[in-house]
Structure 1
Amino acid sequence: MKTSSEKIARMAELEIDLAQLEDYLALLTEEIEASVEKEPGVLILHAVSVKDAPEKIRILEVYANRQAYEAHIQTPHFLKYKTLTAGMVRSLNLVDVDPIALSTK
């Protein structure tokens, strides 16, 4: 059972309307940069696309705890991203994951 102090991690699997991909990527980049800069509880936000399928985006999200995640989804920069990209996202699947080894350089 997870406690409120345990990290929250998930993998977001998105498919974006190809005609709007450039606009989506700009909004995603803006949101990720703001979240990492302004929110101490946002530990990792890494976005990648599937090789040869740029419309298939994968985002690894790691938050310090449940409270950090709940605070994140209420921030103005996240709400702007969700609102402006709503018509661009064809599908979204959020997969809760357990961190095994998280390392950056």
Structure 2
Amino acid sequence: MVPTRVGNSELGWKHFSGRHNIKKCRIVNAAIDGKPDQVNGARLEYWAYAWNGSRRVKVIVIVQCARKSADGRYDAGRGQKIGVITAYCKGLDKCPNWLNE
């Protein structure tokens, strides 16, 4: 199980719901439901696709599967994992509003 913490402006729910306009849990859950699409040490990348008619976006969810963040600034505590760092739509500053409907 991958935790998604409330976080702050730099990581977690507060980060990606504001900065990247992802406001529905189902979007993140759809991506992290399977195996990671890319692994680089403790950094896991999950991909999911969303469609609205002919429009399609690729949602990328970045997970830190370790107690501490890569830069050492965040520590989830003994026996815990950081979890979801961010989620975003590839190639877009903000995900389209229809993704949250």
Same fold (TM over 0.5): no
Does 1 or 2 have the higher relative contact order (CA < 8 Å, sep 6+)?
1
Q: Which has the higher helix share?
A: 1
TM-score (normalizing by structure 1): 0.27
TM-score (normalizing by structure 2): 0.28
Q: Which has the higher strand share?
A: 1
